[in-house]
């Protein structure tokens, strides 16, 4: 469904927040039934986002149903298991066909059926465990629970465990090997293939390994110790094991090459995020390619033969990790789908054709479509070609535009073709008359492992030059006003926005979010201390090394750019003191600065009032300093 624009009126946060966002999709094995988890774009104050399941027949209508996520059909398609926090907000438990099944201590993160449908294997995080940065970087907790007083910190307190659950009675038992933490798993009824760590911290994920778990004996064999990071472990009914391995910054959204145990990497040119066995000799695979997604079938015969199902300038699957749901015979596949011109919906591929199954956003989409999207390519300082997305106002007058550069998180992430990326910020900015450059600098995904590793040990070096040369190209082409350029971004993008304004006077304003400004204090206060060691390739306690040299706070005295810092108070990934340090350093240096802290928010913010407030503050900051 290509959207016809109707954006004579300004795009507002209230409009953007009307967009519904489908995520995980499940198909029954015979391809006749479908379930999709659909979330709003916001949450109410102090509440979790209320994700709801839309369920129906593929050839009929999908209707909204129970609150829930992680839908999984039983092998015969007769039952639907899912996770829901109904009755205990914040703690997800197992539900089957509208009824809660048993009780597991912890919050459910994944569910898989046994081949006979008699049991479920469930991954659950202990209450008190940390969520990944891509999932707010807050604590797993149940609303109304008695707060810890005093707060006691000790290592290895909160684990992620496997539970075997009887599908009839709900009886559950812990089948996790002792002293093993499980981040992801796959089960075909026998051994379990899992991403394991020796301690349960978020930081430990960077040193994870592939384990083969015997759930009856609660024993594990360490099958593979990788060079880089892991995602999507899979095991076939006959015991063949595969996974994705690649240099990655964030758990849950890693990208890399497909590997098969005993065989090595397969088709490394495919920058994959998700796999599943189609049969013993092929895998279904999805991932990033340039600024878009791909999905298809990959042979494991050593030839690297790959047959494309879908691809191009679109995003399908959960927003940061493309994935598909495929019927057992491969005749049907389904996923969430969006592009620059098509709002998020659930789609089905069959017989080489794609059809849309929902109309979640048909009414609001034309009122949000404020952007004329373009691919933007340029040559960086060292001859490397860089690309990104350029958002221009649909209704613009001739002449150079003010520009906002939005740097993605990661750094091993990417900007991709989407209808309203970055919480709709480009749509809001374009509606207000700004051009938006969303660069995929060196270190981004979608262009293979060599490009993804190109800023290893060099964050703030070549990647910053990629941004500056991209701006120069837009100025040279007459698209952008040289004197009216601002920079923003969150997480790695927040670091880059802070770093940039201490290294150059190019920017008239900055609006960094979820920032890193002091790598030394970051290392000992974040929940992912292995991240900075990996990416900086330096000793955190060397006073003359990159931990100080690459920290914006140590260069704050140089900053002349008015800087609006926005940060979540409960962020465990980029802790609040990172923002406070930089704010105080800028004030001491005499630089115009403002710090806004959002209570009850982690790594990014989703409360309705906070989304509106942040946009209003950014709009006013830009109007004040870009004119």
Listing DSSP states for 431-450 in one string gives HTT-EEEEEE-TT-SSS-HH
Q: Give the per-residue pLDDT at 5.
A: 54
- Give yes or no for a contact between 258 and 247, defined as CB atoms under 8 angstroms apart: no
Residue 474 has which token pair? 């837009």
Q: Give the per-residue pLDDT at 2.
A: 63
C-alpha–C-alpha distance, residues 16 and 519, integer Å? 35
C-alpha–C-alpha distance, residues 603 and 589, integer Å? 27
> Is residue 8 pLDDT above 80, yes or no?
no
The total number of structural domains in the chain stands at 2
Say which residues have a Cβ less than 8 Å from residue 196's Cβ, sequence separation at least 6.
Answer: 180, 181, 182, 183, 208, 209, 210, 211, 213, 220, 222
Q: Give the per-residue pLDDT at 303.
A: 84
Task: Indicate whether 507 belongs to any domain.
Answer: yes
- Give yes or no for a contact between 548 and 556, defined as CB atoms under 8 angstroms apart: no
Task: Indicate whether 42 belongs to any domain.
Answer: no
pLDDT tier at 3, thresholds 50, 70, 90: low
Residue 451 has which token pair? 């490009």
Q: Give the per-residue pLDDT at 474.
A: 98
Q: Give the per-residue pLDDT at 395.
A: 84
| Domain of residue 181, residue span | 72-141+158-225
C-alpha–C-alpha distance, residues 256 and 265, integer Å? 10
C-alpha–C-alpha distance, residues 279 and 275, integer Å? 12
147-163: pLDDT as tens digits: 889 989 999 999 999 99
pLDDT tier at 179, thresholds 50, 70, 90: very high
Task: Indicate whether 40 belongs to any domain.
Answer: no
Task: Indicate whether 503 belongs to any domain.
Answer: yes
C-alpha–C-alpha distance, residues 517 and 496, integer Å? 9
> Is residue 434 pLDDT above 60, yes or no?
yes
* Beta carbons within 10 angstroms of residue 201's beta carbon: 20
Residue whose pair of structure tokens reads 């398609």 in the numeric block? 77
> Is residue 476 pLDDT above 60, yes or no?
yes
Alpha-carbon distances of 88 from 38, 94, 103, 495, rounded to whole Å: 20, 12, 12, 36
Backbone angles phi, psi at 479, to 5 degrees: -85, -30
Task: Indicate whether 441 belongs to any domain.
Answer: yes
CATH number of residue 484's parent domain: 3.40.50.1820
- Give yes or no for a contact between 121 and 172, defined as CB atoms under 8 angstroms apart: no
Task: Indicate whether 390 belongs to any domain.
Answer: yes
- Give yes or no for a contact between 365 and 376, defined as CB atoms under 8 angstroms apart: no
Residue, of 356 and 146, whose pLDDT is higher: 356
pLDDT tier at 371, thresholds 50, 70, 90: very high
Walk across the sheet containing 292-299 and list its strands.
Answer: 271-279, 282-289, 292-299, 306-312
Average model confidence (pLDDT) for the chain? Answer: 96
Task: Indicate whether 602 belongs to any domain.
Answer: yes
Q: Give the per-residue pLDDT at 1.
A: 56
Residue 83 has which token pair? 């996770």
* Beta carbons within 10 angstroms of residue 344's beta carbon: 27
> Is residue 319 pLDDT above 80, yes or no?
no
- Give yes or no for a contact between 309 and 270, defined as CB atoms under 8 angstroms apart: no
* Beta carbons within 10 angstroms of residue 88's beta carbon: 16
CATH number of residue 104's parent domain: 2.120.10.30
Of 206, 225, 244, which residue is a domain's last? 225
Backbone angles phi, psi at 511, to 5 degrees: -140, 65
55-82: pLDDT as tens digits: 999 999 999 999 999 999 999 999 999 9
240-275: pLDDT as tens digits: 999 999 999 999 999 999 999 999 999 999 999 999
Show the beta-strand stretches assigned E in 300-370: 306-312, 315-316, 325-326, 332-338, 345-350, 353-356
* Beta carbons within 10 angstroms of residue 478's beta carbon: 11
Task: State mean pLDDT over 408-419.
Answer: 95
Task: Indicate whether 315 belongs to any domain.
Answer: no
The string of DSSP codes covering 145-205 is: PPPPSS----TT-S-EEEEEEETTT--EEE-PPTT-EEEEEEESSSSEEEEEESS-STGGG
Of 191, 225, 259, which residue is a domain's last? 225
The string of DSSP codes covering 216-264 is: TTTEEEEEE--SSEEEEEEE-TT--EEEEEE--SSTTS--BEEEETTTE
Of 179, 208, 225, which residue is a domain's last? 225
> Is residue 7 pLDDT above 90, yes or no?
no
C-alpha–C-alpha distance, residues 568 and 610, integer Å? 10
Say which residues have a Cβ less than 8 Å from residue 303's Cβ, sequence separation at least 6.
Answer: none
- Give yes or no for a contact between 199 and 105, defined as CB atoms under 8 angstroms apart: no
Question: Minimum mean pLDDT among 206-215, 445-454, 616-625: which range?
Answer: 445-454
C-alpha–C-alpha distance, residues 277 and 280, integer Å? 7
Residue 358 has which token pair? 């929902």
CA dihedral 500, 501, 502, 503 (to 10 degrees): 50
User: Counting Cβ atoms within 10 Å, is residue 545 exposed (0-12), middle (13-18) or buried (19+)?
Assistant: middle
pLDDT tier at 144, thresholds 50, 70, 90: confident
Segment (H or E) for 22: strand 20-27
């Amino acid at each position: 469904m290509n959207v016809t624009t109707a954006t004579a009126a300004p795009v507002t946060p209230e409009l953007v927040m009307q967009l519904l966002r489908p995520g995980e999709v499940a198909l029954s094995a015979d391809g006749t039934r479908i379930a999709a988890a659909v979330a709003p774009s916001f949450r109410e104050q102090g509440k979790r986002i209320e994700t709801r399941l839309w369920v129906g027949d593929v050839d009929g209508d999908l209707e909204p149903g129970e609150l829930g996520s992680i839908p999984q059909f039983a092998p015969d398609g007769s039952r639907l298991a899912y996770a829901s926090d109904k009755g205990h907000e914040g703690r997800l438990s197992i539900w089957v066909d509208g009824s809660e099944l048993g009780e597991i201590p912890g919050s459910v993160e994944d569910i898989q059926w046994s081949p006979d449908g008699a049991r479920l294997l469930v991954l659950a995080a202990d209450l008190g465990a940390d969520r990944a940065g891509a999932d707010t970087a807050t604590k797993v907790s149940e609303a109304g629970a008695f707060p810890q007083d005093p707060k006691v910190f000790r290592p290895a307190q909160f684990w992620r465990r496997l539970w075997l659950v009887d599908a009839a009675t709900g009886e559950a038992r812990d089948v996790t090997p002792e002293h093993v933490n499980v981040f992801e798993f796959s089960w075909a009824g026998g051994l379990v293939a899992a991403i394991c760590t020796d301690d349960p911290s978020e930081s430990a994920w960077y040193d994870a390994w592939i384990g083969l778990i015997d759930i009856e004996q609660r024993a594990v064999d360490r099958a593979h110790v990788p060079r880089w990071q892991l995602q999507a472990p899979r095991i076939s009914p006959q015991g063949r094991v595969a996974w994705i391995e690649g240099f990655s910054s964030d758990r849950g959204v890693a990208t890399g090459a497909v590997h098969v145990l005993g065989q090595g990497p397969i088709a490394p040119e495919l920058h994959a995020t998700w796999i599943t066995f189609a049969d013993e000799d092929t895998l279904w695979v999805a991932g990033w390619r340039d600024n878009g997604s791909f999905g298809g079938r990959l042979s494991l015969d050593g030839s690297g033969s790959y047959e494309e199902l879908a691809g191009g300038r679109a995003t399908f699957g959960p927003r940061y990790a493309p994935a598909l749901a495929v019927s057992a015979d491969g005749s049907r596949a389904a996923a969430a789908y969006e592009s620059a011109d098509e709002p998020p919906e659930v789609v089905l591929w069959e017989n080489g054709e794609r059809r849309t199954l929902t109309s979640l956003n048909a009414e609001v989409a034309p009122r949000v479509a404020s952007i004329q999207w373009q691919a933007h390519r340029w040559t960086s300082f060292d001859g490397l070609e860089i690309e990104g997305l350029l958002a221009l106002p649909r209704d613009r007058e001739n002449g150079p535009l003010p520009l906002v550069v939005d740097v993605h998180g990661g750094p091993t992430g990417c900007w991709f073709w989407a209808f309203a990326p970055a919480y709709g910020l480009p749509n809001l900015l374009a509606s207000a008359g700004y051009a938006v450059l969303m660069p995929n600098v060196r270190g981004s995904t979608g262009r293979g492992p060599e490009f993804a590793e190109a800023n290893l040990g060099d964050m703030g070096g070549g990647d910053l030059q990629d941004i500056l040369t991209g701006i120069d190209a837009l100025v040279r082409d007459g698209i952008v006003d040289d004197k009216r350029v601002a920079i923003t971004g969150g997480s790695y993008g927040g670091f880059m926005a802070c770093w940039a304004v201490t290294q150059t006077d190019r920017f008239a304003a900055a609006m960094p979010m979820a920032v890193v400004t002091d790598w030394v204090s970051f290392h000992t206060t974040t929940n992912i201390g292995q991240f900075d060691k990996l990416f900086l390739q330096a000793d955190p306690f060397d006073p003359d090394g990159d931990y100080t040299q690459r920290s914006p706070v140590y260069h704050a005295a140089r900053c002349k750019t008015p800087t609006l810092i926005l940060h979540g108070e409960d962020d465990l990934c980029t802790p609040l003191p990172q923002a406070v340090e930089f704010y105080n350093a800028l004030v001491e240096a005499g630089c115009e600065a403002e710090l806004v802290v959002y209570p009850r928010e982690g790594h990014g913010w989703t409360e309705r009032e906070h989304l509106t407030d942040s946009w209003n503050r950014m709009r006013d900051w830009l109007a004040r300093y870009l004119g």
